[in-house]
């Protein structure tokens, strides 16, 4: 298992971490996340006494997690701060690995590398902070049984929307998209632009709701290893991309669970929303949450999981894939990933 470790990864939506500790497997390691008075803590989810998971314990005094077996307590640095037995001796081996954590944009971010974590490197999802609650979909997540690189490639190649998500996010006429790939300031962006096509259902929902013809753009930006930001918009035909249309912006925050499983965290916000009454807005918000999750869980998920199985199949030769224009983003990602991995290992 090889991961790029000196990076910020989304560990859990803030809303999903309450008073009780939560277990996650991240970058192949069992991790327990919990809240202290000094912020979120992330420790190895293994008690060094009898090796039971610490998440089966509880948070005490807002400062430590108490193992549920014999009650050893560990603070956010992983130091054992209390042994409730006898004289309370704390041997040197009674400590747990800790990781750097930051909470921003409604997400708990974890840095599992050795280097000092720089909070300014947390990907910018500030559009989530300023979102009107009426216009933001559920902050949701899925586990996809495929390597995170497969999921990144899926998102960098939005051409599949016309086939796999036909009717919902794309359609036949969207196949004629013009596309371009750009690398700037460390980010990789793939842009698609479609002139005068029928609005795909999910976009139509945000627009006139009558299947009007539109100009449609769908851009996706990769920040770091596996954090993506998707901007899609529609406007009157032949008016070009711009602030005059409506659309949405989506966070796609991917974190390797292990070599063959990915934590896929997502959320979308309507941009330049067309004014509706509050009831209609609530309906649109619910549909955005439901339809996007359905597309990821029932369309992308099974396809990527089947892909992962075939790639692992010794009977299948994957050494010479057939490549097309639509693969430009994914090919650039592969190169960029190799470079980042080398830099991560050698640093
Ligand atoms: S196993 Fe954790 S305190 Fe004994
Ligand atoms: Fe998809």
Q: Band of the pLDDT at 335, cuts 50, 70, 90?
A: very high
* Cβ of 70 less than 6 Å from ligand 1: yes
> 212-229 pLDDT, tens per residue?
999 999 999 999 999 999
Listed in sequence order, the residues at least 6 apart from 190 whose beta carbon sits closer than 8 Å to its beta carbon are 156, 157, 158, 179, 180, 181, 219, 220, 328, 329
Distance, in Å, from the CA atom of 319 to the CA atom of 184, rounded to the nearest integer, reads 30
> 262-321 pLDDT, tens per residue?
999 999 999 999 987 899 999 999 999 999 999 999 999 999 999 999 999 999 999 999
Tell me: pLDDT of 347 over 70: no
Question: Whose CA is closest to atom 1 on ligand 1?
Answer: 50
Share of the chain above pLDDT 90, in %: 95
Q: Is 68 left (phi over 0), alpha (psi -120 to 50) or beta?
A: alpha
Fold agreement (8-121, 132-346): no
Q: Could you give the count of Cα atoms lying within 13 Å of 155 in the half-sphere of its Cβ?
A: 28
User: CATH assignment of 132-346, given 3.40.50.12780, 3.40.50.1820, 3.90.380.10, 3.40.190.80?
Assistant: 3.90.380.10
Burial of residue 113 (CB within 10 Å: 0-12, 13-18, 19+) is middle
Distance, in Å, from the CA atom of 287 to the CA atom of 285, rounded to the nearest integer, reads 5
> 75-102 pLDDT, tens per residue?
999 999 999 999 999 999 999 999 999 9
Domain ranges (residues) in the chain: 8-121, 132-346
Query: Which is the CATH superfamily of the domain at 8-121?
Result: Rieske [2Fe-2S] iron-sulphur domain (2.102.10.10)
Q: Per-residue pLDDT averaged across 319-344, rounded?
A: 95
Distance, in Å, from the CA atom of 261 to the CA atom of 148, rounded to the nearest integer, reads 7
* Cβ of 49 less than 6 Å from ligand 1: yes
Q: Per-residue pLDDT averaged across 164-193, rounded?
A: 95
* Cβ of 72 less than 6 Å from ligand 1: yes
- Considering every ligand atom, which ligand is closest to the CA of 71? 1
* Cβ of 80 less than 6 Å from ligand 1: no
């Amino acid at each position: 298992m090889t991961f790029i470790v000196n990076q910020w990864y989304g560990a859990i939506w803030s809303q999903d971490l309450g008073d009780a500790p939560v277990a996650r497997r991240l970058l192949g390691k069992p991790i327990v996340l919990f809240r202290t008075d000094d912020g979120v803590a992330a420790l190895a989810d293994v008690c060094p006494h009898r090796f039971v998971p610490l998440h089966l314990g509880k948070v005490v005094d807002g400062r430590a997690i108490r193992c549920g077996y014999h009650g050893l307590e560990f603070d956010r640095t992983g130091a054992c701060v209390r042994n409730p037995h006898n004289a309370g001796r704390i041997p040197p081996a009674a400590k747990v690995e800790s990781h750097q954590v930051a909470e921003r944009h409604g997400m708990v971010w974890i840095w599992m590398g050795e280097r000092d974590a720089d909070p300014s490197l947390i990907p910018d999802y500030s559009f989530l902070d300023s979102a009107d609650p009426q216009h933001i979909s559920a902050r949701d997540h899925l586990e996809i049984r495929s390597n995170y690189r497969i999921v990144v490639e899926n998102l960098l190649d939005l051409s599949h929307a016309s086939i796999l998500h036909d009717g919902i996010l794309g359609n036949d006429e969207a196949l004629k998209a013009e596309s371009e790939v750009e690398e700037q300031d460390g980010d990789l962006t793939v842009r698609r632009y479609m002139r005068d096509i029928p609005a795909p259902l999910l976009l139509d929902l945000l627009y006139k709701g009558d299947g009007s013809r539109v100009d449609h753009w769908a851009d996706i930006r990769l920040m770091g290893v596996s954090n993506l930001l998707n901007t899609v918009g529609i406007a009157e035909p032949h008016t070009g991309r711009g602030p005059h249309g409506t659309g949405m912006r989506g966070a796609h925050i991917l974190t390797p669970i292990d070599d063959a499983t990915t934590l896929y965290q997502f959320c979308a916000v309507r941009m330049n929303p067309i004014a509706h009454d509050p009831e209609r807005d609530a309906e649109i918000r619910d549909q955005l949450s439901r339809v996007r999750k359905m597309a990821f869980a029932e369309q992308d998920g099974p396809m990527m999981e089947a892909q992962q199985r075939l790639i692992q199949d010794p009977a299948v030769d994957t050494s010479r894939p057939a490549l097309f224009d639509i693969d430009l983003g994914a090919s650039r990602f592969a190169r960029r990933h190799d470079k980042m991995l080398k830099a991560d290992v050698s640093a």
